[in-house]
Structure 1
Amino acid sequence: MMKKKRVLVIGHRAPDSDAVCSAIGYAYFKNHLDKTRLYVPCRAGPLNEETTFVLEKFNLETPLRADSVAATVEDMDIEKPISVSPEQTMMEIAHLIKDRTIQSFPVVDAENRLLGIVDKLDIAVHYVERLEIESLSATPIDLSHLMSALQGKILANTRKMKALSGEIFVAASQRGTTINRTRPGDIAILGDRADVQMDLIKAGCSALIITGDHPVSNEVLQLAREKKVLVISSPHRTFATARLINLCMPISHLMSKSVPTVGLTTTVNEVREKILESKYRCLMIVDDDNHLIGTITRSDLLEPIQKQVILVDHNEISQAVDGIQDADILEIMDHHRVGDISTIRPITVYNEPIGSTCTIVAGQIFLHRIEMIPDIAGALLSGILSDTLLLTLSTATGKDREMAKKLADVAELDLTTFGKELLTSSMNFKGKTPRDILFQDFKTYHFNGRKIGVNQVMSLDIEEITGIEPELKAEMERLCRDEAYHMVAMLIMNPVEKKGEEIIVKGDTRVIEKAFGVRVENDKCFIPTIMSRKKDFIPRISRCLTS
């Protein structure tokens, strides 16, 4: 069965409940609607307490964390590699190269662990440079491999030898010279010189290879059997026989142990750099235990390689996960202003001026009559209530309220009771540093080349914030100084009293003063109304900076 292409469904950085729950819900919806792909819910950062509470309450798996959607090796079409074992001969590999038109082969052990690599150029250079016959003392050759290469016959093998080992030479010199240079255990290659054959056996040769398919006398064979000497008949001439013996060497004798490797999470950009540096013009894909997974050649990089993604609850580059500009965006589902993300082809975009992306997702599930199970209903309801502050913000619409009621019925939840439970889970500052609090719901916006950062927090006790106010201001000031923010604002609201919002601001405070007609003193001001960041606060800031 062909492996399904994965599509990542992912929300914005510093994910809130609407981003995470809409990703879960939309992946659920798409997996029911489209059986050709696998839709995977993801998150672009750590979960906050509220979202953790939601996932635990409704027994939902934590979405996969994706800090980047840059294409990686696992996004490539990886075929099962053709590998060789270290025992295989150079001749076998040469035939594979010819038959398969493959340049390089990975060498693996019995457990498929990568040992090395052999290339056709390595074999060619080895063949040309090795004018002498290789010594078999350090690297014996398997007798079956030799017989297969020579297409020869075994005429005597009293010791039942399985491999040839020792110094090997061509007995082409005069009889005396040949016998004088022979040492016990040597292997001699020669023609139909019966007298020399007899002398070599007596001198202690372990094997004779008789070339040219010449007949061997009974006297020679009888003596060979008595002395336990291996006798082989080769149909080839002496020169060809010697060259074929060299090609019977195991590939472990030639392979390079310096193998260019990558893992499944290696980015395609890194792959391109490595493959250009590789003399083998390929890379081996291995797992953490060095097991071979596949190979990558330059031709594999000719076509574009991208991760496929669906964006939920955002459509701006500044809020998107790293690598989004190189990804293949299939859809966008959002309820914010239209941002700056562009695509190379038309895509499906759902963007409605409502309170929550989860409302849109729930509407799609109901519209297509896909079963709305209680756990998914509870998650989508959580996203709606979280993003609209229990349906009290100005962004909450009739559609949000209608969908929240339907989802509460499916999940068998009381809206008011569950809403308070959800709200309580989100207002826990214990154990958090000022930086944690600042970034738990922090978003970045760009207007006329100016970078604006906005965080929104809820607290039942303003003293919790007042106690760490100097540290918060210092962190905000660092953002303005080190990361070129024109202004950073923290909106603080008491969801029970609902008197308005206190704002701590660093950077160009005139922006707040102009946008809301207030005076900022000691980096703080108060606005006597509950604001939605996307519908009330950001539009005013945008008008102020672009007018």
Structure 2
Amino acid sequence: MSDKIYIVGHKSPDTDSVCSAIGLANLKKLTGTTNAVACSAGKLNKETSFVLNYFGVPAPMVLEDLHIRVQDLMGGEFHTVESTTSLREAWQIMKDKEQKKTLPVVDEAGKMIGVITIGDIGMAFAERVICEEDSNCPTGNLLPTSVSVASVMHTEGLVSFQEDDLITDVRKKMVETRFYNYPVLDAAGKVVGLIGRYDLLGLSPKKVILVDHNEWGQAVTGAEQSQLLGIVDHHKVGGIQTSEPIYIRVEPIGSTCTIVAQCYREQGITPDKAIAGILLSAILSDTVIFKSPTCTPLDKTTAAFLATIAGVDPKAYGIEMFKASSNIADRTPQGMIEEDLKAFTMGENKVGIGQVSLMGMDGFEAVRADLTAAIEAHRVAQGMQYLCLMITDILTDTTELIVKGENPEEVAKAFGKTLVAGSVELPGVLSRKKQVVPQMTTYFKA
């Protein structure tokens, strides 16, 4: 199994979660950890895509699941035969190719029609391999070329697995059956490999470093079963527990990428123009071009340092970045909900809070009804007590909080406000982390 270290941000990835993963993985590689892999916990939003394209940085691999699956254990050479293949040839393949002693039998399209094992060949020709004087008689020479695999292959009771099957399910199936090796099929039914009982021996979980979050509820599926190596974040500390000490760096600043940039400087490494550019972009995004109350002096000085390397003016570039991603006409209601959505537990309530940043509210009223309906549908589908969407106007420093839930008036009370047409007006509110989550958490835990 691969020994990769996956560096990944939260679900519904934003620019900070994606760029901090890329930046940290790059630093790890520069300092000797060559198996570090930057990941995105989902599809890139429009802003992040703009940032990566602007600085010519390839999009990271999408990692939405950390469970171990069959495809994670597949590797090495494997062979198949057709039903017309002679037993002698099948034997030779098993003997000479270091093949697992099982051969899937396939048709002309590569789809499995049977299985033959070394035991099947031995049983079929046991009477031919008895040599009275030489117990080391070359068995393969006694197998006639006229007899084909079709005469002894198994075609009933076959057990195979799909590439994306969970290893936990595979293990259970192996306990129930007697085979040593099992064919692996793709979605079209073609054989793509083999997996054996011994592949599961000493199985270790995938290794992961979390960036821009530290709660299992925001992490990719299966993260709880992974080997957590570290956390780099700038949010409140959640409920993650580990069985052994890990590296944790959580700072009360505006962006995880500020921390990553500091890691470069502490290692005496200057990031290249592209990495500096995406780290800067994330700082500008999370601090709303330094206007958010989460912004600290360190965010500003780090941004200035990165901007010099990237060759851009922070404020001018920041405005261009937000404009590129704020066009309502280019977004669907569901996309607006999911593009920056985080889940929280507040008292007894499961709460989702998303955020959409706009450069002015032009065109918003045209989508309000559809968006509001989509918020309620998503809340119900996800089993949330409340789902709130922050519509943040960067030009006026104001947020409209659209609220859907069992008792939406309770959310308004958390801010000392009255719910009007399903929304709460929050002047001066730009930060979910500092101006929305704490107030709601305190209210619902009271």
Matching residue of 1:119: 117
Picking from 50, 54, 64, the partner of 1:53 is: 50
Contact 1:11/1:311 (8 A) holds in 2: yes
1:30-429 paired onto structure 2 within 5 Å: 30-35=28-33, 37-76=34-73, 78-81=75-78, 86-89=85-88, 104-106=102-104, 116-123=114-121, 126=124, 249-256=147-154, 260-262=159-161, 264-276=163-175, 278-285=177-184, 294-429=193-328
Picking from 4, 19, 22, the partner of 1:21 is: 19
Name the CA shift for 1:359/1:485 in 2 (closer, same or farther; >3 Å).
same
Partner letter of residue 399 of structure 2?
E
RMSD over aligned CA atoms reads 3.6
* 1: CA distance, partners of 2:6 / 2:295: 28
For structure 2, the 5+ residue unaligned runs are 135-141
Contact 1:355/1:384 (8 A) holds in 2: yes
Partner letter of residue 183 of structure 2?
M
**Secondary structure, counterpart of 1:380 in structure 2:** helix
1:481-520 paired onto structure 2 within 5 Å: 481-498=380-397, 500-507=398-405, 508-520=407-419
The count of residues paired between Structure 1 and Structure 2 equals 434
Partner letter of residue 73 of structure 2?
M
Picking from 324, 341, 345, the partner of 1:446 is: 345
| Structure 1 residue 371: Cα displacement | 3.7
* 2: CA distance, partners of 1:290 / 1:531: 51
Deviates more, 1:430-439 or 1:53-62: 430-439
For structure 1, the 5+ residue unaligned runs are 131-145, 152-211, 213-234, 237-243
Contact 1:285/1:295 (8 A) holds in 2: yes
| Structure 1 residue 388: Cα displacement | 0.5
Does 2:3 match 1:9? no
* 2: CA distance, partners of 1:82 / 1:252: 17
| Structure 1 residue 412: Cα displacement | 1.0
| Structure 1 residue 450: Cα displacement | 0.6
* 1: CA distance, partners of 2:195 / 2:229: 26
Contact 1:82/1:105 (8 A) holds in 2: yes
* 1: CA distance, partners of 2:143 / 2:55: 70
Contact 2:360/2:394 (8 A) holds in 1: no
Partner letter of residue 53 of structure 1?
F
| Structure 1 residue 310: Cα displacement | 1.5
Partner letter of residue 117 of structure 1?
V
Q: What is the CA deviation profile of residues 21-48 of structure 1, one whole-angstrom value per residue up to 9, with x for unaligned ones? A: 111111111111234x422211122211
* 2: CA distance, partners of 1:324 / 1:33: 25
Matching residue of 1:546: 445
Query: For the pair shown, which has the larger CA radius of gyration, 1 or 2?
Result: 1
Partner letter of residue 253 of structure 1?
S
| Structure 1 residue 534: Cα displacement | 0.7
| Structure 1 residue 539: Cα displacement | 0.7
| TM-score between the two structures when normalised by the length of structure 1 | 0.70
| Structure 1 residue 343: Cα displacement | 2.9
Partner letter of residue 10 of structure 2?
H
* 2: CA distance, partners of 1:367 / 1:433: 42
Contact 1:493/1:502 (8 A) holds in 2: yes
**Secondary structure, counterpart of 2:363 in structure 1:** helix
* 1: CA distance, partners of 2:293 / 2:258: 15
**Secondary structure, counterpart of 2:224 in structure 1:** helix
Identical amino acids, percent of aligned pairs: 31
* 1: CA distance, partners of 2:307 / 2:143: 80
Contact 2:78/2:99 (8 A) holds in 1: no
Name the CA shift for 1:466/1:118 in 2 (closer, same or farther; >3 Å).
same
Matching residue of 2:375: 476
* 1: CA distance, partners of 2:47 / 2:285: 9
* 2: CA distance, partners of 1:389 / 1:439: 19
Partner letter of residue 511 of structure 1?
E
Partner letter of residue 61 of structure 2?
L
Name the CA shift for 1:434/1:295 in 2 (closer, same or farther; >3 Å).
closer
Contact 2:6/2:209 (8 A) holds in 1: yes
Q: What is the CA deviation profile of residues 499-522 of structure 1, one whole-angstrom value per residue up to 9, with x for unaligned ones? A: x32222122223333321111122
Picking from 425, 434, 447, the partner of 2:333 is: 434
Name the CA shift for 1:524/1:410 in 2 (closer, same or farther; >3 Å).
same
| Structure 1 residue 392: Cα displacement | 1.1
| Structure 1 residue 13: Cα displacement | 1.2
**Secondary structure, counterpart of 2:328 in structure 1:** coil
Deviates more, 1:46-55 or 1:86-95: 86-95
Contact 1:275/1:297 (8 A) holds in 2: no
| Structure 1 residue 7: Cα displacement | 1.9
Name the CA shift for 1:490/1:251 in 2 (closer, same or farther; >3 Å).
closer
